Structure 1
């Protein structure tokens, strides 16, 4: 009651406390002060088994008082029940060995960056969108089938299971967490689509149609393919694909520009240079 700071200081002095701060209007914090000349009053109450809080409550200006007791609080880190999570060292190695670096993805997650509100589509051999790790994040509007000219990106199933690449790429990005299945996506709240375009003849037209699918809706286009990585091939996008890149970065994503992400390739064992890949060296790709 009354001016908190002034009265708080008065009460603290009278009872052997030290005034610390005003927390809210009408709420002040005081603490034991061994140097106060009135500290004996505080100690005497303790020795007599009297709760100092009760003494404070008897003061005409005090309506509420409570001893502040430390509470146990535990930092909530990312522990998922997905069986492959503990093997994903590149995402969470610092949780096991704090001095060893990783991608620092958990740091981004702690800040709230989990892919929520983002739409990523994968230009590949198809997308098994009904997979339990992907179904919840599947975005039909970000999907199509260029190879068969329909809207279903489901891969063509055959005995060698060759057409699994696109589904795996999508899982790396947006696999659902805490469902006891497989691993954890790096942006596990992102919406994902699939553009089936690698399971057939890949022409400049096919690439252009894939790169320009729904630029008003898709924000990120991910492609993990390119010319042969054998150290002998130099190739890149044709005229139509270049046009798709240009239109995307100028007009896609609501005028902010589509984001095209490209894999650097697997040619290291052949001394292949990704600088010979026109998709990777394009000014329009990341």
Structure 2
């Protein structure tokens, strides 16, 4: 940020030469809830984000009015939940006032999210999803690996289901709705969504029982939606953070609603920075533009197609869609009180099909989360839909398992995100910011022509709050008041992912101190 009287540092230029050194830098090419807190949606709460370096609870608590109280906090995501007993006006006044206080990064409603399913009348029929994405052909190579973990952030899961039990380990998961260690559904007749989603991903293959998921990956359940299918922003964010801490390589979020929130943005950034790849449902409104959390750049947005490989009438679509998968009349596991198996429709079903294929892929290839993301896109099948409808294409398990990621190919879809290969190049720079007034600007020259993706990452001090801003397609320096992309968590771990970036000009990057000082490393990775 720039204060009057503070000299502009000027933009530095990223060099393409490996190992080049200049005057500026060298380059290379826990959550606890207050007892008694109500489960499920929490529309009477405000979430307040506090910058690193400040006392989390005290910063907020001293400004909480008499008709409210702090009822929850997440130290890693650095937010507290303030519960109001009064009117909507009291909450709005508080949000307006608290954001004017030092060290307060944001204040937002504890929004409600919902499971994204469009249930049909139950029918028993043959599966088509594994065949359509060619998981059955991939099984000639591998059924999957129990060393790969898929976390299902959803309603509770009937983890003792005969067709799921074999893929659940000793740790079944965590219940963030009721604040205990048992994610089993409270009301299995009504709470079946998570069980169905889990089966789409990893119902046990080749066990002589029921249906087959896409992979025999280990499942863990983060129960963040209650029996009504709804859940609070804070519970879902806490569950995402928990899943990343469990080492889940894949996180499935078949849910949506609430719009953009800083709390969820920080949660998915945390998970991404800790090695998880998040798949999220595009949404079921049948409109252009995907829902949140799928719309965050950290998440892989998945649209739904039918058994004729046509976009489902309910599926949302748009530039953020990266992959498509079967999501109409998908047969999967259900709670035993509902008959153990049923067909459901929704982007909620397409998402775990994709998550399961991701798990299957990791059983064959050792990939980082970003490498996995690009590999699935590079090996996706073009099924003739527009890039807004299918992204890079329909996920293809056989191609993902049998194609060496070091030389990715595949049909790539209409969107061009697939790329011509699996090459990547990375450049890094180190710097120091002295306080809230300080910033560093960089101009990055592209290594590839028309790169498929660029990832900008900031690793800064744990006791400071640094933010990251990016402009593309312009020579204007990025800043907190002028940016195309931003990552503004409450700490100094930031990440921005841009698909098919505009490379008509050098990319402009701003590292800004919101508060605190210290050293940082900025890394930019291009994918061809």
Q: TM-score range by the shorter chain?
A: 0.5 to 0.7
2:17 aligned residue: none
Q: Which one scores higher on RCO, CA 8 angstroms, separation ≥ 6?
A: 2
Q: How does 1:46-61 map to 2 (within 5 A)?
A: none
Q: Which has the higher strand share?
A: 2
- Supply the distance in 2 between the matched residues of 1:258 and 1:203 (Cα, whole angstroms): 22
Aligned length: 175
Indicate conservation of the 8 Å contact 1:85/1:183, yes or no: no
Once residues 190 and 125 of structure 2 are traced to their aligned partners in structure 1, the CA distance between those partners, rounded to angstroms, is: 27
Corresponding position of 1:198: 225
Deviation of the 1:177 alpha carbon = 2.7
Alpha-carbon distance in structure 1 between the residues aligned to 2:297 and 2:145: 24
Paired residues for 1:17-166 under 5 Å: 87-92=126-131, 102-112=132-142, 114-141=144-171, 143-157=173-187, 161-166=189-194
Deviation at 1:89, TM superposition (A): 2.3
1:276 Cα offset (Å): 4.6
Alignment partner, residue 246 of structure 1: 269
Q: Helix, strand or coil for the counterpart of 2:136?
A: helix
Distance 2:175 2:264 in 1: 17
Superposed structure 1 runs of 4+ greater than 4 Å apart:
none
Q: Which residue of 2 aligns with 1:283?
A: 297
For the Cα contact (< 8 Å) 2:264–2:293, is it kept in 1? Answer: no
Give the corresponding residue for 1:230: none
* C-alpha distance 280-117 of structure 1, shift in aligned 2 (>3 A): same
Identify if the C-alpha distance between structure 1 residues 136 and 163 changes in structure 2 by more than 3 Å, giving closer, same or farther: same
Q: Is the 8 A contact 2:222 2:243 kept in 1?
A: no
Gaps of 5+ in 2: 1-122, 301-528
Q: Distance in 2 between matches of 1:225 and 1:204?
A: 11
Q: Cα deviations across residues 171-210 of structure 1 (Å, max 9, x unaligned)?
A: 11111133343210111x2000111111176333212101
Secondary structure in 2 matching 1:181:
coil
Match of 1:176 among 195, 204, 212: 204
Secondary structure of 2:279 counterpart:
strand
Whole-Å Cα distance in 2 between the matches of residues 140 and 166 of structure 1? 18
**Unaligned 5+ runs, structure 1:** 1-83, 93-101, 228-234
Give distance in 2, aligned partners of 1:144 and 1:244.
17
Mapped partners of 1:85, 1:113: distance in 2: 24
- In structure 2, the partner of 1:79 is none
Task: Write the distance in 2 (CA, Å) between the matches of 1:85 and 1:106.
Answer: 20
Question: Quick check: 1:260 aligned with 2:278?
Answer: yes
Give me the whole-angstrom Cα distance separating, in 1, the residues matched to 2:124 and 2:202. Answer: 14
Q: TM-score, normalised by structure 1?
A: 0.56
Identify if the C-alpha distance between structure 1 residues 140 and 283 changes in structure 2 by more than 3 Å, giving closer, same or farther: farther
Q: In the alignment, which residue of structure 1 is the partner of 2:421?
A: none
Counterpart Cα distance in 1 of 2:292 and 2:164? 31
Matched position secondary structure for 2:157: coil
Q: 1:237 to 1:119 in 2, by over 3 A?
A: farther
Larger Rg: 1
CA RMSD of aligned residues (A): 2.4
Hey, what's the Cα distance between the residues in 1 that align with 2:170 and 2:224?
16
Give 1:147 deviation, angstroms: 0.6
CA distance in 2 between counterparts of 1:85 and 1:184 reads 14
> In 2, distance between residues paired with 1:86 and 1:177?
17
Compute the displacement of 1:111 (Å).
2.5
Query: 1 CA distance for matches of 2:197 and 2:178?
Result: 21
Q: Which residue of 1 aligns with 2:248?
A: 218
